Structure 1
Amino acid sequence: MASITASLSAETEALLQHECKTISKDLIHRPGPDFLDRCFVPSSRTPQVIRSLGQLYNHGRLAGTGYMSILPVDQGIEHTAGASFGPNPMYFDPENIIKLAVEGGCNAVATTFGTFGTVARKYAHKIPFLVKINHNELLTYPNKFDQILFGSVEEAWNLGATAVGATIYFGSEESNRQIVEVAHAFERAHELGMATVLWCYARNNAFKTADKDYHVAADITGQANHLGVTIQADIIKQKLPENNGGFSTINFGKTHKAMYETLSSDNPIDLTRYQVANCYMGRIGLINSGGESKGATDRDEAIRTAIINKRAGGQGLISGRKAFQRPFAEGVELLNAIQDVYLDDAITLA
């Protein structure tokens, strides 16, 4: 705990001592060793899907805790390979991505068809594969908010995938097609016995005003989560909320004053608790993204995000650039620092 609190400086007391008075922790389906038994065994998931979920929850340093640490590396497509791997060119070789996840003690590695296609036989038995099946290819000019399939669910299964992942850009012009496309893909993945993970991102130029970016508003991201669990994603990936009031400020959608007055507050734990509530009160696990690398402050920021996620009722972090855009050993250390938050019993549900 001492090394963790040393990283938080002025925010330490606010984050570690905060008591959530918005949505009671008693309403949250808490992560824990029996999470699958409590929340997935009663569901419609088949024994094969339950087994795949068990592989995810029972691998790496966080095995058996109900928490997850996932290394995601799809930025070579989403952000260009040069921008992603320029800080550390060793990751142009995709085997090093898998090595980092293994050495970092992650529950799974999330990356592309291309990466797994080059090393699947060597690593399929060493760490669960999460195959990202769609991407925003970024070479279309001007850029547009779309995600297109880069391969089939069957091909992910052939590669030895434990799970498939996909992104939906909720709020974009293409979101209706993406919802239908991903819903069908997730149905097929469940038929084949794989788990499903959904990147629930908001994308619309109108969501950003002159002074605030509501792509990370609790109300908008919370609703994106709610849509994601509706199409039976087993795990939801979402950005950490930074504000609230996106619907009311932009003046669209349906709202209730409770969304802003009683179900949330300005505290980041309360904002994230609202995201968890929209994941069926935690029946479907929320993992927050680690965000971009900013250099020297990455470790502190990663620990902060992990504390917020854990105390809100989330199930872990999916952090990529902060780990792979630095020397290999430092990347392993950063992943372990994140995991240490979830292993620390003194950090509890707020």
Structure 2
Amino acid sequence: MLIDDITAILGSQAGYLLEHTCETIQREKLHTPGPGFIDRVHAQSSRNNQVLNSLASLYRHGRLGGTGFLSILPVDQGVEHTAGASFAPNPDYFDPENIVELALEGGCNAVASSFGVLASVARKYAHKIPFLVKINHNELMTYPNKYDQVLFGTVKDSWNMGACAVGATIYFGSAESDRQLTEIAAAFEHAHELGMATVLWCYTRNEAFKRGGIDYHSAADLSSQAVHLGVTIQADIIKQKMPETNRPGFKDLNFGKWDEAMYGQLMSEHPIDMCRYQVLNCYAGRAPLINSGGASQGTSDKEEAVYTAVINKRAGGAGLIMGRKSFQRPLAEGVEILHAVQDVYLEKAITLA
């Protein structure tokens, strides 16, 4: 797609998103994605050369290879959301090979999935596309349902199957978050010792984060503090949901600590400014922020994916990790949506706000 195509997809939102100038956090204060990001940023850290090589594998693969941006296909929903509910729209994806083929056809930097999915086809594909193994999950077979991320395997298992990275989720704010944090901090340390990159899903989770009809799980302040904690345990790449409101979660829920400047000076109601606050909390972009694509909504998926990608890129983010919008439909349509997202990051006319 060209910029005219992207503008047409954005429709009435085009000017709002493409012409916005961020006056809360100037772009000069950020470590921004682009060619040479590993040399400029990652290489300044304590990461060893093998980790840098693994990160380079991620950054060099697919249609976005060499740009400093990432497009990752995540398919762990068979565990997280039950396989039947996730794959009923397209039963082809019960077969793990089709998951990897979608990532290849879609020009992704990496494919992210469970131990079982990736191990079942590792000998055929681990050398063709970077593997990102999700080492913990929440599963919905326990009755009544619980919400707790538990380890499904070891970092060594991931390394043995040829993966270049491991990923994990922490439910920040949950009663189990302290255990998850210490488990994953230790797992990430081991991954770095083995030369693997690390990606953290930094989700907020607590029923108390819903009050008065408002869901603060996606509030910019809570989600941004979650990513700050994620970078603190040395995640190389941070995954977070796109912030949906700048309502003061800490203040309204009366917990934690806040400063009025967080809401009046460091962010606004504009989605690019809220996403930039997430980037700021990723050590000013030293840990790249990738936002999730969200659930499939049907015919509007392509428009929503492009909308999210434009916000992420203009905020200073490093890409999207998008699954259900692509695999819950025929292969050609899934590839088309993945390419549409990647085209946003390839389009030089879309710049930092």
Give, in angstroms, the shift of residue 93 of structure 1. Answer: 0.6
Tell me which amino acid in the other structure corresponds to 2:126.
A
- Looking at structure 2, the residues matched to 16 and 226 of structure 1 have their Cα atoms a distance apart, in angstroms, of 27
1:119-158 to structure 2, matched below 5 A, reads 119-158=121-160
Q: TM-score, normalised by structure 1?
A: 0.99
SS of aligned partner of 2:350: coil
Specify which of 242, 247, 264 is matched with residue 261 of structure 1.
Answer: 264
2:200 matched residue in structure 1: 198
1:48-67 to structure 2, matched below 5 A, reads 48-67=50-69
Instruction: State whether residues 145 and 173 of structure 1, in contact with CA within 8 Å, keep that contact through their aligned partners in structure 2.
Output: no
5+ unaligned residues in a row in structure 1: which ranges?
none
Q: Which moved more, 1:179-188 or 1:240-249?
A: 240-249
- Looking at structure 2, the residues matched to 15 and 247 of structure 1 have their Cα atoms a distance apart, in angstroms, of 27
1:342 matched residue in structure 2: 345
- Looking at structure 2, the residues matched to 215 and 140 of structure 1 have their Cα atoms a distance apart, in angstroms, of 23
- Looking at structure 2, the residues matched to 93 and 160 of structure 1 have their Cα atoms a distance apart, in angstroms, of 20
Runs of 4+ in structure 1 displaced over 3 angstroms? none
- Looking at structure 2, the residues matched to 257 and 38 of structure 1 have their Cα atoms a distance apart, in angstroms, of 33
How many residue pairs get matched? 350
Could you say what the CA RMSD is over the residues aligned between the two structures, in angstroms? Answer: 0.6
- Looking at structure 1, the residues matched to 41 and 26 of structure 2 have their Cα atoms a distance apart, in angstroms, of 19
Instruction: State whether residues 29 and 282 of structure 1, in contact with CA within 8 Å, keep that contact through their aligned partners in structure 2.
Output: yes
Q: State yes or no: 1:314 paired with 2:317.
A: yes
Show CA shifts across 1:83-117 (max 9, x none): 10000000001110000000000000000100111
- Looking at structure 1, the residues matched to 302 and 215 of structure 2 have their Cα atoms a distance apart, in angstroms, of 24
1:1-350 to structure 2, matched below 5 A, reads 1-244=3-246, 245-350=248-353
Give, in angstroms, the shift of residue 143 of structure 1. Answer: 2.0
- Percent of residue pairs bearing the same amino acid type: 68
Tell me which amino acid in the other structure corresponds to 1:79.
H
- Looking at structure 1, the residues matched to 346 and 213 of structure 2 have their Cα atoms a distance apart, in angstroms, of 38
5+ unaligned residues in a row in structure 2: which ranges?
none
- Looking at structure 2, the residues matched to 295 and 145 of structure 1 have their Cα atoms a distance apart, in angstroms, of 27
Tell me which amino acid in the other structure corresponds to 1:249.
D
Tell me which amino acid in the other structure corresponds to 1:138.
L
- Looking at structure 1, the residues matched to 271 and 128 of structure 2 have their Cα atoms a distance apart, in angstroms, of 36
Give, in angstroms, the shift of residue 127 of structure 1. Answer: 0.2
SS of aligned partner of 1:41: helix
SS of aligned partner of 2:234: coil
SS of aligned partner of 2:199: strand
- Looking at structure 2, the residues matched to 82 and 39 of structure 1 have their Cα atoms a distance apart, in angstroms, of 42
Give, in angstroms, the shift of residue 142 of structure 1. Answer: 2.2
- Looking at structure 2, the residues matched to 4 and 258 of structure 1 have their Cα atoms a distance apart, in angstroms, of 34
Show CA shifts across 1:167-209 (max 9, x none): 0000001000000000000000000000000000000001112
